[in-house]
Structure 1
Amino acid sequence: MKIYKYGDNVDTDVIIPARHLNNPDPKALASHCMEDIDEKFASTVEPGDIVVAGANFGCGSSREHAPLALKSCGVKCVIAKSFARIFYRNSINIGFPILECPEAAESIQPGDAVTVDFKTGVISDETQGKTFQAAPFPAFVDGIIEAGGLLNSLKVRGVAK
């Protein structure tokens, strides 16, 4: 597990550049994820890695492609000081967990070993011996994420086909 750390105002055009939106295939999006801010990200990210960022992560346009690109890379979650509201909602809609925790986002460094308990919102930086508390998702949001997104959760509940 690796930590990728970025600053404030990482916008959706940086997460997945607009020039790659012609191909909606999640694997294609993943292959270009973060390339304008970190050209090695897509080739080095592995399932379970965590992105840590500053304030206003996911600002910019409202495309769902941004959290989808991160999820398709295998990123476990994003921990940030704050999220743009549309990115936050799009992440939940596709079943991608994100946690707002300014203290964790400030403290966690690349190379740290970090675990996350989504049920409780507890973020543990085992390298530094620190624990942080993010607000856990309400049960209905947790159900959406566990189902893999809003549409899947509606199917599980028998509301959609």
Structure 2
Amino acid sequence: MLDSVIKGKVWVFGNDVDTDVIIPGKYLRTTDMQVFADHAMEGIDPEFPRKVGKGDIIVAGDNFGCGSSREQAPLALKHAGVSCVVARYFARIFFRNAINVGLPLIEADVECREGDEMEINLLEGTVRVNGQTYRGNRLPDFLLEILTDGGLVAHRKAAQQK
């Protein structure tokens, strides 16, 4: 179930964070979500899986999630406890994979530092941090519905039961 207001501690990454650093290829042969969680962002920060907490938020620059189409990248972040990813721009395939697996995200140009507390309102498309409010790209209702249901598979199951 999606909470439209997300609050958490910020982890900051730069531009062009690719799927190979989000979840290195050597871990892709498993379906164990804990393995993904234990190695999330390992390719860019080997300590991240031990530092990240449930509900934390990743903030990045341009082209977050570029590289391969691996669905495991947003799964790794979600299962590591990341509640949302904020970036100026997402690689389109990562954007869609995140929605499909139920990982909220928002495109916004935000100024913050690692460790800051952030509040994201998905329904408004806003990000609040350090007393500033940033307007991001609000997700369309149909994507919010998919996130609310927990991802695309859960959304389709819910639709079939109606």
Q: How many equivalent residue pairs?
A: 155
Matched, 1:116 2:123: no
How far apart in 2 are the matches of 1:8 and 1:67?
17
2:139 matched residue in structure 1:
137
- State the secondary structure of the residue aligned to 1:61: coil
Structure 1 gaps, min length 5: none
| TM-aligned CA deviation for residue 159 of structure 1 | 6.8
- Deviations for 1:38-77, whole angstroms, at most 9, x for unmatched residues? 1111011111100000100000000000000000011010
Q: Which runs of 4+ in 1 moved over 2 A?
A: none
Q: Which amino acid aligns with 1:119?
A: L
> Residues of 2 paired with 1:113 and 1:151: CA distance?
32
Segments of structure 2 that go 5 or more residues without pairing to the other structure are: 1-7
Deviations 1:50-108 (A, max 9, x none): 00001000000000000000000110100001000000010111111111112x1xx12
How far apart, CA to CA, are the structure 2 residues paired with 1:91 and 1:111? 23
Q: Which residue of 1 aligns with 2:5?
A: none
| Among 63, 70, 77, the residue aligned to 2:84 | 77
Distance in 1 (alpha carbons) for counterparts of 2:31 and 2:112: 32
Letter in 2 for 1:62: S
CA distance in 2, matches of 1:24, 1:83: 25
Give the distance between the partners of 2:93 and 2:142, measured in 1 at CA: 18
> For 1:81-92, what aligned pairs fall within 5 Å after superposition?
81-92=88-99
Label 1:6 to 1:149 Cα distance change in 2 as closer, same or farther (>3 A): same
Identify which of structures 1 and 2 has the higher relative contact order when contacts are C-alpha pairs closer than 8 Å and 6+ apart: 2
In the alignment, which residue of structure 2 is the partner of 1:100?
A: 107
What is the Cα deviation at residue 111 of structure 1?
Answer: 2.1
1:2 Cα deviation after fit: 2.2
Cα displacement (A) at 1:37: 0.7
Structure 2 Cα separation of the partners of residues 54 and 135 of structure 1 = 15
Question: Residues 22-101 of structure 1 correspond to what in structure 2 (within 5 A)?
Answer: 22-101=29-108
Q: In 2, distance between residues paired with 1:10 and 1:135?
A: 20
Partner of 1:149: 151
Normalising by structure 2, report the TM-score. Answer: 0.92
TM-score by length of 1: 0.93
